[in-house]
Amino acid sequence: MTRMRSFARPTLLALLATLAAAAPATPAPPGFAFLQVPAGARASSMAGAYASIARGAEAALWNPAGLEATQRFELSGSHAELEPKLRHDAVALAGRAWGGGYALSLRALYSDAIESRDELGNLVGSFGAHDLEFGLSYGHSLGAGLAIGGSAQVVRERIADLAAQTYSFDVGATLQPAALPGSRVSLGLENLGPPAHYTLDGSPGDDVGLPAGVHGGFSLGRLVGNGLTLRGALEGTFTVGRSGVGGLGAEVTNLGGASLRAGWRIHDASTGLTLGAGFDSKVLRFDYAFIPLELDRGESHRFSIARQF
C-alpha cells in the first residue's frame, strides 16, 4: 500500500501539470453556454459543487474519473425548467468494462417555438432552437485512491435552419487522500476543442468557441451521529473568456433514505441560494432542486432520477 501511495502522488501531479499546460488560450468570449448548466438536481441544489462527489453514471457529466466507481449498469436522467420556455435535459447510461467504468451521455438545451416576425413586426411563423452534446466517457482507478478519466463529445447548436457543430474533450482526475478519510479532491479540464461557426449566405461566420476551462474542488463527508452523514463541498470553475464562478454546497443524508441540501453560488449573476431534497431507496434515487433566479426571472425547478440495474 505504501508503494501505491508513493506512486499515486507524483502521477497525480504529473497529470495535473499536463492538464494545465493543455488549456487553450482563446481570448474571445465562448458560446455553447448550456455546457456549463449544472446537470442533475442533486448537483444543482448543492450549487454545482459536485465534481468531487459525482460517481457512477453522473460522473460522465462532471468528472469522468468518477466513472471508476461504476459496478453495475446505471441510468441517470435529469430535467430542468429554466427560464420560461427554456429547458435543459441530461441523460447518462454507465456500465463496467476493461477494468473501469464507461458511459454514454446526452445533454440538451431547447426552447419552445419562438415567434418569427418580418421587418414590419408582422408574425410570419415560428422557429426552434436547441443545443446538443453526445458524449462517450471512461474512468479508471490507478489505486491508492487515485482515478483518471476522459470524455469525447460531439457538440451541435441549431437556430432555425442554421447549425454549427464541433467536437470536444474532457480529462480529469480524482484523489481520495488516505490521510483524510471521507475526503475527495477533483480536478479536470473541460470542453477542449476547436470553435464552430455558422454558414451565412454561403460564407463561414465568426467562430463560436467552446467554454473551455478548468474545474476543481474538494469535498468531505462525516458521520455526525444517529446514522446521519454530513457532506460539504467547495468547487470553482474558471472558463476562458468568462469570469470564474464557485459553488459551496452541503447535504445531510440517511434521514430514513431522505436527504436535505443547500448551497450558494459564488460570483454568479444568475443565482445565489440553492435548495433541494432527495430520497434514495438504494436502487432508485429521486432528487429535486429549487433555484431562485436573479433579476426578477422567477425560479428554476429541477428534477432527476438515478437507477441501478
Domain range for 173: 2-308
What pLDDT is attached to residue 295? 66
> Measured between alpha carbons, how far is residue 122 from residues 62, 116, 160, 161 in Å?
44, 8, 18, 20
What pLDDT is attached to residue 28? 58
Work out how many domains the chain is built from and give that number.
Answer: 1
Mapped onto helix, strand or coil, the DSSP state of residue 69 is helix
CATH number at residue 178: 2.40.160.40
Q: What are phi and psi of 10, to 5 degrees?
A: -65, -30
What pLDDT is attached to residue 13? 44
Contacts of 296 (CB under 8 A, 6+ apart): none
User: What is d(CA 23, CA 20) in angstroms, rounded to the nearest whole number?
Assistant: 6
What pLDDT is attached to residue 116? 73
What pLDDT is attached to residue 160? 79
Query: Taking the model in full, what pTM does it have?
Result: 0.84
Which residue blocks in 177-223 are alpha helix, DSSP H? none
Per-10-residue mean pLDDT, the chain, length 309: 41 42 49 90 96 96 97 95 86 96 96 75 75 97 96 92 92 96 96 90 82 96 90 96 92 92 93 94 93 79 94
- Any bridge partners for residue 238, and if so which? 214
**Of residues 249, 269, 261, the one with CA closest to residue 285:** 261
